[in-house]
Amino acid sequence: MTLPNNPITVDNILDGISHFRKGMDMQHKMFEDNQVYRDKTIARTLSIGRATIWLWVSQGHLAAPTKYGPRVSGWPGYVLNEWLEGKNQQKKGGLS
């Protein structure tokens, strides 16, 4: 079995999400605004690995999580939705 040659990038993930969301109401959001999401849940929702999330944070593609306690951090849903929407707008506008 051979693996695909295209690496996991933000754009590749957004292509998959856009394909999944076709036909859905445009007001539908991937994440609930008033919820806090941990890396495991985001990874499962976007069908990526947790390491990819942390790679994107280290590369500046995704904001660092909010720290809620000494051992608890996560992303508010509205932050994730704004990030996804911004990436979709960049893609539509031809920016990378």
12 has a pLDDT exceeding 90: no
pTM of the model: 0.69
More confident residue, 92 or 65: 65
Any idea where the domains of the chain sit in the sequence?
Answer: 10-16+28-93
Report phi then psi at 56, rounded to 5: -60, -40
5, with CB counted inside 10 A (0-12, 13-18, 19+), is: exposed
26 has a pLDDT exceeding 50: no
Q: What pLDDT is stored for residue 85 in this prediction?
A: 87
The pLDDT tens digits for 33-58 are 999 999 999 999 999 999 999 999 99
Q: What pLDDT is stored for residue 62 in this prediction?
A: 94
